[in-house]
């Protein structure tokens, strides 16, 4: 990721862009060679509009298959850009599985990534081998065993707070894996889906899907509640088999101070 600049360079305007996407057909947010990514689609469309190469900074780097209903990015564009038309033109250029919700120009030092206080996700599971509805399948992970929502909540509550989440982070790049998990709880909705609400100051790579995998293990009786505490204490990696798939995960909100 390019170094963030505090303010836009002279002659440039900083835009905050709120967007939503169905991540099914993308290899995640971040640009990668020979892969279709959300970042590349957005930057290509922005470059077409501004006639100028652009680099976006994102609040939550979503993994392959992960969706967003409340993603936030910022981008610096030439100050001659017609900002009022940018939302409409972006939605014309982009495929229907990416939609721009809001574009505002800012004269502050707003940074989509570094100004963010917290990120909120939901994770949706359909358990007990129920048949997934074709029209509501995009953002749901199917699971074969029945899961107890009370045990899911008990196990999830053990993870809340500031911890070193090394055991739940797939790649360690030497930087800290200490995070503050603000919220992690489950409901079973009236249609039978299990829905987790998960928020933290920030997440490491694959952390949400690891957290979901860990509490599911407990809820289906594979491990006891003690195992959760032991994982946190020992920092032993959660086995790969327990990383839940991206399709069930949606970034729903990014919180900034006040009205930033």
- Point out the residues that are catalytic: 63
Asked if 40 and 48 count as a contact pair (C-beta separation under 8 A), the reply is no
Of 59 and 103, which CB lies nearer to a second copy in the complex structure?
Answer: 103
Site for a second copy in 86-115 (CB under 8 A): 91, 96-101
d(CA 180, CA 111): 20
Shortest Cβ distance from residue 102 to a second copy (Å)? 9
Q: Is 235 in the site for a second copy (CB under 8 A)?
A: no
Candidates 33, 53, 134, 174; binder of a second copy (CB under 8 A) is 134
Which three-class secondary structure state does DSSP give residue 163?
Answer: strand
Cβ burial 3-37 (10 Å sphere, 16+ → b, else e): eeeeebeeebbbbbbbbbbbbeebbbbbbeeeeeb
Sign of CA dihedral 172, 173, 176, 179: negative
Q: Is 132 in the site for a second copy (CB under 8 A)?
A: yes
Site for a second copy in 161-190 (CB under 8 A): none
Candidates 137, 145, 162, 236; binder of a second copy (CB under 8 A) is 137
Shortest Cβ distance from residue 163 to a second copy (Å)? 31
Among the listed ranges 18-26, 42-50, 164-172, 176-184, the one in contact with a second copy (CB under 8 A) is 18-26
Closest CA to 89 of 98, 100, 78: 100
Shortest Cβ distance from residue 32 to a second copy (Å)? 21
Shortest Cβ distance from residue 139 to a second copy (Å)? 5
Of 138 and 151, which CB lies nearer to a second copy in the complex structure?
Answer: 138
Cβ burial 144-153 (10 Å sphere, 16+ → b, else e): eeebbbebbb
d(CA 148, CA 163): 25
Sign of CA dihedral 115, 20, 67, 133: positive
Give the β-pairing of 12-21 and 98-106: antiparallel
Among the listed ranges 107-115, 135-143, 161-169, 183-191, the one in contact with a second copy (CB under 8 A) is 135-143
In the complex, the residues that contact a second copy under the rule CB under 8 A are: 20-22, 67, 69, 91, 96-101, 131-135, 137-139, 250
């Amino acid at each position: 990721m390019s170094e963030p600049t505090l303010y836009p360079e002279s002659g440039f305007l900083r835009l905050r862009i709120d967007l939503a996407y169905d991540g099914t057909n993308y290899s995640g947010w971040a640009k990668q060679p020979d892969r279709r990514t959300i970042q590349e689609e957005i930057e290509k469309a922005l470059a077409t509009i501004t006639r100028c190469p652009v680099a976006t900074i994102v609040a939550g780097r979503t993994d392959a298959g992960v969706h967003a209903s409340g993603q936030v990015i910022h981008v610096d564009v030439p100050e001659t850009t017609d900002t009022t038309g940018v939302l409409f033109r972006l939605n014309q250029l982009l495929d229907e599985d990416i939609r721009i919700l809001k574009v505002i120009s800012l004269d502050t030092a707003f940074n989509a990534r570094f100004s963010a206080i917290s990120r909120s996700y939901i994770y949706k599971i359909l358990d007990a081998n129920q048949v997934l509805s074709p029209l509501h399948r995009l953002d749901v992970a199917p699971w074969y065993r029945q899961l107890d929502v009370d045990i899911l909540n008990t196990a999830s509550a053990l993870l809340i707070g500031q911890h070193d989440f090394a055991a739940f982070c797939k790649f360690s790049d030497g930087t800290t894996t200490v995070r503050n998990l603000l919220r992690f709880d489950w409901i079973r909705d009236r249609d039978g889906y299990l829905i987790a609400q998960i928020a933290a100051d920030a997440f490491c790579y694959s952390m949400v899907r690891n957290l979901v995998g860990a509490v599911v293990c407990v809820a289906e009786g594979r491990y006891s509640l003690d195992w959760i505490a032991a994982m946190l204490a020992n920092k032993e990696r959660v086995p790969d088999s327990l990383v839940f798939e991206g399709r069930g995960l949606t970034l729903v909100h990014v919180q900034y101070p006040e009205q930033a």
